[in-house]
Amino acid sequence: MTARICQFLIAAVFLGLGGWALFAPANVIELALTEPYRDTGFIMRFAIACFGAQAVMFGIMALVVRWTARAFAVFAVVLLPFFVFNWYFHYEMPVLTSIGMLDFAGNLTMFIACLLGWRAARNDERKANRKFA
């Protein structure tokens, strides 16, 4: 798998889940949050839509910049706390429904893409360095 494909996979997660939150925040609230934590008021819909807008923005940036091996590695490390978040808010404090755990699936997909992307980008960078050596 090439680094660019890994990058596109990361972008797809952000664009897919972020787009859902941006364009259908009430649906996200209904499907992804357990009953005691559902609030369909304006502020909650607004906050979910803002979260989605930021995710879509990052997804677009992930499509247009070229990630180095270092970028993939850093992003993989940055994802680690989100696994704790998913575990805590699904198992310890049941805020996220099983559908809400799509966030976990997206994080896992991106983490794997980061590892594969890191390896591919590192190989590409080594090849490029040999050409100029």
Determine the pLDDT at residue 133.
60
pLDDT tier for residue 131 given thresholds of 50, 70 and 90: confident
Long-range contacts of 62-71 (CB under 8 A, 24+ apart): 62/7, 62/8, 62/10, 62/11, 62/14, 63/7, 63/8, 63/11, 66/4, 66/7, 67/3, 67/6, 67/7, 67/117, 67/121, 68/121, 68/125, 69/3, 69/118, 69/119, 69/121, 69/122, 69/125, 71/121
- What integer pLDDT is reported at residue 129 of this predicted model? 86
pTM value is 0.93
